[in-house]
Structure 1
Amino acid sequence: IISRVTNDTEAVRELFVSVMAIFVQNIVYMIGILIALFILQPKLALLCICLLPLLALIIAVFRRYSSLAYSEIRLRLSEMNGMINEMIQGMSIVQAFRRERAVQE
């Protein structure tokens, strides 16, 4: 449970510190680029705006598959940390039954 809470808290922190900052920065860049493009080449700007739904579709598909993979990674990390914690706490029992090699594997 502690491992899961720690990892989830770290994931939320990472979301707000890195992902949100980059997301806001990139949105500002896109708006600035589109404004400059409308000033310089309105036809090209309209073409770029027409491609935004395709970009949104690609993002949605990526988000779906990456969230599945990310949840699997978090689950395995939680299981691994739990197992390591159990082995450290039960080290004397592992040593008493001479199971160091099996635990190491």
Structure 2
Amino acid sequence: MARRIFYGLAVLGAVVPYAALAVFVSRHGLDPAELVRQAFGSPGAVFFALDVLAGGVVVLAGMAIDTRPVRARWAVVAATLLVGPSCGLPLWLALRR
């Protein structure tokens, strides 16, 4: 049961950030420089951007030192790097044995 909840949270953790990204792309196109400019454009935005980056490092480090085997470890790394810790963390918890 808990595994299903974590899979659902991983999906939610991918859909919600990418929905916001879709709005950005519809307004600015695929402009990485503008995305970074906006992500670090104010002290509040910097706080959230750095929090997400730190969270991603924590997920990857935690998975690396965890003694429990993790199926499809590559999927957790990909989810964390391509989406963020909002997807990578629940996926890691779902895949732990």
TM-score by length of 2: 0.31
- Point out the structure with the larger helix share: 1
Higher relative contact order, chain-length normalized (CA < 8 Å, sep 6+): 2
Structure of higher CA gyration radius: 1
